[in-house]
Amino acid sequence: MNVLQLLIFDWDGTLMDSAAKIVACMQAAARDVAVEEPTPEAVRDIIGLGLRHAMERLFPGHDEALFGSLTEQYRYHFVEANQTPEQLFNGADDTLKQLEEAGYLLAIATGKSRVGLDRSLQHTGLRKRFHVTRCADETRGKPHPQMLEEILEVSGLAPQHALMIGDTEYDLQMAASIGMPGVGVTYGVHSRERLLAQKPLSLLSDITHLPDWLKNRN
């Protein structure tokens, strides 16, 4: 059995309970620019993708100007206007502390922008926990594995010594494409069936179960 040294987490839907806010802000952005408002289900489906990729999926066939306006309005609502609560999942902070104390390196691979992730890390006080982070606007977005490859390069590790933990098929797809094992969490945005189709090592119903799962695996 390969020894796991590096744990790579998705952010939204895995550590941060932010789906309701993302849905509200995307719908508000659509109203602002007078395009058809996406359903909550459609928005939840694209959580985890980079913002531009998400916009193309939600609003196909539009030009660069409209995508620019949508992006600008989405960011306005997310940062300034929308007051939908956004917080860490229960036990996430303590779980990360336990894993760090157990000797694991911790990382983030997220569809958020660098500005957005840095804001969240500052707000939660979690910046110090992570060895390295990668965002969709500074490398290729999920499910392309480039952000994982860059995290591995910084860490000096091979894929089999890392584990991707995420709530979407995009997380598990990008890990599998480079031979990295993955664990899905079922409390996020994609269904158990979608996660199971990617053949993860396990599915967890709570992030606090991860330390025990790792102990039992080893």
Q: Name the residues annotated as catalytic.
A: 10, 12
Those residues with Cβ within 8 angstroms of residue 10's Cβ, 6 or more apart along the chain or in another chain:
48, 108, 109, 110, 164, 165, 166, 167, 168, 171
- The DSSP call for residue 207 is G
Q: Provide the edge-to-edge strand list for the sheet that holds 132-135.
A: 132-135, 105-110, 6-9, 162-166, 182-185, 202-204
Distances (CA, A) of 149 to 24, 25, 73, 113: 33, 31, 32, 18
- The DSSP call for residue 128 is G
